[in-house]
Amino acid sequence: MDSVAAGFHSAEAEFEWDTYEKVIDEVDDIQTGTIHYRKNGDNIEMMAEVKKAGQTLNEQRPEPKFVLFSQGKVQMFQPKVNTVTQFDLGKNRSDFESYVVLGFGGSGQDLKKAFDVTYVDPQTIPVAGTSELQLLPKSDKVKGTYSKILLWIDMNKGISIQQQFFQPQGDYRLAKYSDVQINGKKIPDDVFKLKTNDKTQFVSPKG
């Protein structure tokens, strides 16, 4: 991971995000799409384009949504309702950034700064050359969001191919990545811009 992080400038991949809710004991939302990362100075930016969503892969429907992390701010754009919901992370930026870029541009030393890291013998992904890490957040703020994170690393590429984020109440989000391209062709600047217009409503929730 350290060697990949040293030369990292961009990444793109297809993703599947599965959300499990403990109260109903099942995965109740599956989202698929494309995600992009790039290094911009000392910071890493992320744009996730959710293309489809549903309760199962077979029942997915078009559900365009864009999630941009850039310059200490998270913005979620929903074109159907032409609304951007935005969160200015302020002093919580470093905490948020520590898990947004997990396995994509972050080094092993970065992980150790933000998490207590434990190696787990891989049992749940039958992929040769993959190692599993358990991450326990050091920050109390991050602990309030995620009590534990499991990270599966492709040791040949030094990148994450799967992540599982556990919330304190027992819910979790499982993120799976495929067709991962590291430091490929230059990603256009437009990819990291929301396609809003003069009628787009911007909302900033309080709290």
Give me 2's structure tokens: 């350290």
Look at 29-43, 104-118, 185-199 and tell me which has the smallest mean pLDDT: 104-118
pLDDT category of residue 28 using cuts at 50, 70 and 90: confident
The token pair that represents 59 in the structure block: 């029942």
Torsion, Cα 175 122 132 184, to 10 degrees, reads -60
pLDDT tens for 76-103 read 999 999 999 998 877 666 666 666 667 6
pLDDT above 80 (res 48): yes
Residue 47 has pLDDT above 80, yes or no: yes
3-state SS class at 29: strand
Q: How far apart are CA 70 and CA 48, in angstroms?
A: 12
Q: Is the per-residue pLDDT at 63 higher than 70?
A: yes
Strand partners, 202: 84
| Tally of residues, the chain | 207
Range of the domain at 88: 2-203
In contact, 48 and 104? CB cutoff 8 Å? no
Number of domains in the chain: 1
Give pLDDT tens digits for 154-178. Answer: 877 778 888 999 999 999 999 999 9
Query: What are the tens digits of pLDDT across the range 112-142?
Result: 888 898 988 656 555 567 788 899 988 887 7
Question: What is the reported pTM?
Answer: 0.86
CATH number at residue 56: 2.50.20.10
Check: CB of residue 129 under 8 Å from CB of residue 156.
Answer: yes
